[in-house]
Amino acid sequence: MGGNGAGLSLMRQEIAQQPAALRATIGALLPRRAEVTALAARTGSVLFIARGTSDNAAVYGSYLIQAHAGRLTALAAPSIATTYRARVDLDGVLAVALSQSGRTAEIVETLQWAGACGARTLAITNGGESSPLAQAASVTLCTQAGVERAVPATKTFTTQLAALAVLVLALGAQLDAGELRAVPDTVESLLAEPAGLEPIVSALAEVGGVVVSGRGMAYAAALELALKLKEACYLRAMGLSYADLLHGPIAVVDADTPAILVAADSGPTLAGTVDLARRVTGAGARAFGIGGGAALAGACTAALAGPALPEWLAPIGLIVPGQLVSEALARRLGINPDSPRGLTKVTQTD
């Protein structure tokens, strides 16, 4: 299944590289807060430009900035720039483009469009200062994930989340940068003791679909886990906010379609996630928890421990057990997780 002589897939190796990648990224970007603060001066809202995994990271950034920096955020529709070629007044907007490679033409073009429409422009990329996206931005926050060879993004996703945590601090959030510095050690602890994977992997190997749900900060991790299960395992995985799930799609959760519920160990969305787990199991379906502490674990069929992190940083750790499940499930199903069918590392949109 790819990987090195020890038989580990590239995806599994890169999951294990996340503590080092996070340390390097946080160490490189925290000192640049003043530069970002200056760029964002006289802006009042944030427009995120992204696709795929980067779009899931942008969802985290959106919740983070609205909850802790008091700024309205929006997720851009790149086709407005690249297909409709509409002009939009973006005066007073900070446009933040995310692309792991920095070479996705649609994202580069949309950031250029945002700048031409009056926005201040910032890029978050693992592609380096010479990438087309970095060249299009006024300021670039380069993540330090190193080369990522497996097609499913792992370390490039978590380092994007770390960059967004730096961004919210630069935008004036009254949060503790020391908590961000502690994230790599917490992720390392999660990876050192990845207990409880087998029952969940075995259960998912017998089903064709799954619902993955979270809310608030954890919603981004739920969306990203659903994407990993789709691209690495070919599972029909639906990522939903639990608020949206309750508005009708919960009908698809049954004995043959389990739910994976993702939550931080604290915060205002935890109680609702626990209630949802009880509702799922009460209806005869299986609920698998990631994070949420003892409360969520006690309400679920099986659960994986999440990170001991405050809610604003929890998604960086919450995705890690999900990555491990996705990689192990792919191998259980006989799929090479490093090179899923029909996918390449850089996706260009017509």
d(C-alpha 106, C-alpha 109), whole Å: 5
Q: What integer pLDDT is reported at residue 253 of this predicted model?
A: 86
Contact 347, 52 (CB under 8 A): yes
Q: What integer pLDDT is reported at residue 83 of this predicted model?
A: 96
Contact 170, 29 (CB under 8 A): no
294: burial class by Cβ within 10 Å (0-12, 13-18, 19+)? exposed
> What tens digit of pLDDT does each residue of 131-182 get?
999 999 999 999 999 999 999 999 999 999 999 999 999 999 999 999 999 9
List the structure tokens of 285. 């379906």
Q: What integer pLDDT is reported at residue 127 of this predicted model?
A: 97
Q: What integer pLDDT is reported at residue 347 of this predicted model?
A: 55
Domains within the chain, CATH numbers bracketed: 10-181 (3.40.50.10490), 196-332 (3.40.50.10490)
- Which is nearest to 272 in space by CA: 200, 219, 348? 219
Residue 7 is given by DSSP the state -
Q: What integer pLDDT is reported at residue 287 of this predicted model?
A: 96
* Overall residue count recorded for the chain in this entry: 350
Contact 326, 224 (CB under 8 A): no
Residues of the chain with pLDDT under 70: 1-6, 247-249, 342-350
